[in-house]
Amino acid sequence: AMESGVARQPIQNWERYHHELQARIGIDQKLMNRVITQARQNPKTVVFAEADNYKILKAAQTVLEQKLAYPILLGERARIHELIAEFNMELEGCVIIDPREEDAKCEKFAHLLYEKRKRKGLSLYDCRKLVRYRNYFGCMMVETGEADALISGLTRDYSTTIKPALQVIGVEEGVNKVAGMYIMQNKKEPYFFADTTVNLQPTAEELVDIIGLTARYVRFFDREPRVAVLSYSNFGSSSGQVPTKTREATRLAKLRYPDLLIDGEMQANTALNTDLLREHYPFSELANEGANTLVFPGLAAGNIAYKLLQEMGGAEAIGPILMGMRKPVHILQLGSSVREIINMVAIAVVDAQTKTKL
């Protein structure tokens, strides 16, 4: 699982790296630079559930060098040492934990898991087996405060990785559904997309929750959300399930979040094109500036949209940022690059700083 040539060279100077990248592809790195600076001010322990993987170790090395986080490497000890030696990595100071060697800890975690899940069909026997899996083990470390955040998901599909997190950690108070956000950065400004990773077919009510959660996370990145609820119709121009649902979600969201700039339902180009908005829909709340936050009617649309842009649109994708978890857990996209992993670590650290303050 090697990345193309560049990954082999250690990134010596993070600011310069970002600067060069910005110059090369013209992407505005301000947002990520701010997150990285903030992460460094109070680095947190981040457990990597898939540390027997080259890209993860490479990312761990960089965040350690850059003093962004204190990595805990979870995985088969011999394999981790083999990779470190093979690629000549500097990972001194990282804690390596092999769940298979941790009998006492596994027993403790099994009992904790059993307490949480005994009325959800799990026996103590099941729990003893489950905590040997690194995603359960890693989530338990975050749950018990042995680590501040978890990064996983590089090598397994998203649903398999998110389930232990939902079962062990769950949602934060006041949140019904977690959802995934991507930040899409092009030359102009960052755009925020949700839900791109979790809820298959949210109802209008669930969309209202997703809108509230997304607005909060956009503010977490120091931007003021301007939300468009997307459909294949503009303000009642077509009928069907999606227009009806998104129109209703917009109506309810305006009531629930009176201070939020939001409108819909509308097509994606309408949301982003202020000329079009002003000419055809001057009554829209978004007519002045257009949207920077796009809420999709369902997972299919959101997931496909961000992946298309990532592959062909010249936009950098940062995410998926898992919103609404009680403690910071972030599930990577299968096959994320080292750079994407590092970005997610920085976000997880700032997420942990914020959550401990609450």
| Interface residue with ligand ACO, options 24, 119, 120, 357 (CB under 6 A) | 120
- Helix/strand/coil percentages in the chain, nearest 5: 50, 15, 35
Q: Is 201 in the site for ligand ACO (CB under 6 A)?
A: no
DSSP assignment letter at 186: -
- CB 158 to ligand ACO: min, Å: 3
Residue 216 tokens read as 């909060």
Of 299, 293, 337, the residue nearest 319 (C-alpha): 337
C-beta of 337: minimal distance to ligand ACO in Å? 13
Does the protein bind ligand ACO through residue 244 (CB under 6 A)?
A: no
Please state whether the peptide bond connecting residue 297 to the residue before it is cis, i.e. omega within 30 degrees of 0: no
Indicate whether 159 belongs to the interface with ligand ACO (CB under 6 A).
yes
Token code pair at residue 278: 């002003």
Cβ atoms of residues 186 and 312 within 8 Å: no
**Sole binder of ligand ACO in the list 29, 61, 152, 303 (CB under 6 A):** 303
Beta bridge partners of 96: 73
Among 7, 166, 252, 287, binds ligand ACO (CB under 6 A): 166
Q: Token digits for 201? A: 């077919």
Helices 134-143 and 103-117 cross at an angle (nearest 10°) of: 80
Q: Which is nearer to ligand ACO, 262 or 325 (CB)?
A: 325
* Cβ atoms of residues 293 and 183 within 8 Å: no
Q: Interface with ligand ACO includes 178 (CB under 6 A)?
A: yes
Q: How far apart are the first and last CA of the chain?
A: 39
When the beta carbons of 22 and 197 are compared against ligand ACO, the nearer one is 197
- 85: its two tokens: 């030696």
Whole-angstrom distance, CA of residue 117 vs CA of residue 124: 9
Q: Is 302 in the site for ligand ACO (CB under 6 A)?
A: no
Query: What strand order describes the sheet that includes 44-48?
Result: 95-97, 69-74, 44-48, 149-152, 329-331
- 343 in contact with ligand ACO (CB under 6 A): no
**Interaction of residue 158 with ligand ACO, rule CB under 6 A:** yes
Q: Of the listed pieces 12-20, 130-138, 155-163, 230-238, which binds ligand ACO according to CB under 6 A?
A: 155-163
User: Minimum distance from CB of 209 to ligand ACO (Å)?
Assistant: 9
Toward ligand ACO, which CB reaches closer, 76 or 126?
A: 126
Decide: is 122 part of the binding site for ligand ACO (CB under 6 A): no
Regarding 202 and contact with ligand ACO (CB under 6 A), the answer is no
* Number of chain residues interacting with ligand ACO (CB under 6 A): 17
Residue 303 or 343 having the CB closest to ligand ACO: 303
Task: Determine which residue in the list 62, 197, 231, 293 makes contact with ligand ACO, applying CB under 6 A.
Answer: 197
Among the listed ranges 11-19, 57-65, 128-136, 160-168, the one in contact with ligand ACO (CB under 6 A) is 160-168
The answer to whether residues 292 and 223 touch, using CB atoms and an 8 Å cutoff, is yes
Pick from 33, 155, 167, 237 the residue near ligand ACO by CB under 6 A: 167
- Whether the Cβ atoms of residue 348 and residue 320 lie closer than 8 Å to each other: no
Binding site for ligand ACO (CB under 6 A): 120, 158-159, 162-163, 166-167, 171, 177-178, 197-200, 303, 320, 333
